[in-house]
Structure 1
């Protein structure tokens, strides 16, 4: 491993999240945090691809994939931030932190910088793989990346269209991909990070560390900063309508819908 490059990437991501903290404090909109985070991960991945010493075609493929992810997600969150109020997840954290909200947010964003480094490390491990490109695992990786990028874009678009309808103020989205997962955008986001392990495979003794990216992303989305606070907000704002959705639709992995009658039969003693 090129430790100088990795340290430089870590410092750069820490500085990026410090800037994100300053922007949030100035604007009062925490959506810019996630926008900057997405772009910072993309820039870190691009730097890792350009400055590593793996197979050239593999490095350029990694660069294109991470650039596509960063630009799509960053632009989507940025557009949403300009047109929506404060993110309810950050608003709840600020309420819990009270008078120490500014300091706690700064420390929280440095933890996000660490998470970003783990993701960029996966890109770096793929880019330093000097095996000839493309091999069978590379093709699998690229298929996963395309499916994930397209799936998340479709899910985000379907939700954005639903939010423009009058019923969005009182109902929950069950159109398109949202009929089969309560959080299809999160599922495809996690799926995207699964592509880096096959791209890094056979790249050396450290290539297995690319597995940390999808493992961490799953843990964050399903158990920490993704589904739990968002569903807590939805239960407060939609009540029984969202509770009913929880009974019918899987939380994360897309799957067949359940009927209310079927759910009652399963839970009846």
Structure 2
């Protein structure tokens, strides 16, 4: 228990330091949206803090550190490259900046950076908990690894397909419905879901069942808070989107529904 408490405390301090440092950079750049890059990096920091501070099974600690690092660096790199191609602050934060004026600096610290630090810490509870527990790798760890790999595939391939789609000017104003996007409207969010439930299964294999609150929280974020529902509200008025919604799964992949045929 002492090892777990130390890991939880050290992880909280590390991710808090990262997000406050990112906030300070955002003040200099006048760009709060750099927090999106820090999101993935925060998990990587926690994974290695947990690896170093935990005294649990070395194989499981190593596996979790590698899995989170691969996922987190891929995500941070993807968002970072996208931001370099399209510099400037996300319009959502621009609206906040206008609304709060001179108080925006403290609003952004509390409502964006500190909030994300807390969320990263909660979502990564399986990594922290499993790193402090003994017991060798087993079949449930293997299932978690496979689920993680499925998630990384959906997330990475889905992001790449969307990037190519947006790079073609002829697609401006149209709806992406090819590749993985033919089977789910959000392959990248579904991928995140699989990644974190895969990591959750690895933690469950160690006996840390309570840490599944992390994957549960990320599922809520992806489906009800800042992910799927938020994006679909923004896309609702795009031509062809209603038809895309009617034939394509909202989250879990499945073959598209057949389009209704006009009566003869």
TM above 0.5, yes or no, is: yes
Q: Which moved more, 1:246-255 or 1:21-30?
A: 21-30
Question: Cα gap change, 1:232/1:113 in structure 2, threshold over 3 Å: closer, same or farther?
Answer: same
1:222 matched residue in structure 2:
223
Q: Which runs of 4+ in 1 moved over 6 A?
A: none
Indicate yes or no: 2:178 matched with 1:187. no
Give the SS at the match of 1:256.
coil
Written as runs of structure 1 = structure 2, the 5 A alignment for 1:202-213 is 202-204=205-207, 207-213=208-214
Give the SS at the match of 1:257.
coil
Give the SS at the match of 2:260.
helix
Unaligned runs of 5+ in 1: 265-269
Across the aligned residues of Structure 1 and Structure 2, the Cα RMSD in angstroms comes to 2.3
Q: Identify the match of residue 65 of structure 1 among 61, 64, 67.
A: 67
Indicate yes or no: 2:150 matched with 1:151. no
Give the SS at the match of 2:152.
helix
Question: Cα gap change, 1:232/1:110 in structure 2, threshold over 3 Å: closer, same or farther?
Answer: same
The 8 Å contact of residues 220 and 226 in structure 1, kept in 2 or not, is answered as yes
The 8 Å contact of residues 196 and 210 in structure 1, kept in 2 or not, is answered as no
Q: Which moved more, 1:23-32 or 1:193-202?
A: 23-32
Written as runs of structure 1 = structure 2, the 5 A alignment for 1:157-172 is 157-172=160-175
* 1:202 CA displacement: 4.8
Aligned length: 258
Could you tell me the TM-score, scaled by structure 2's length? 0.89
Written as runs of structure 1 = structure 2, the 5 A alignment for 1:1-269 is 1=1, 2=3, 3-84=5-86, 85-91=88-94, 94=97, 97-99=99-101, 100-108=103-111, 109-133=113-137, 135-204=138-207, 207-235=208-236, 238=238, 240-261=239-260
Could you tell me the TM-score, scaled by structure 1's length? 0.87
Question: Cα gap change, 1:34/1:261 in structure 2, threshold over 3 Å: closer, same or farther?
Answer: same
Give the SS at the match of 1:54.
coil
* 1:210 CA displacement: 2.2
The 8 Å contact of residues 26 and 34 in structure 2, kept in 1 or not, is answered as yes
Give the SS at the match of 2:124.
helix
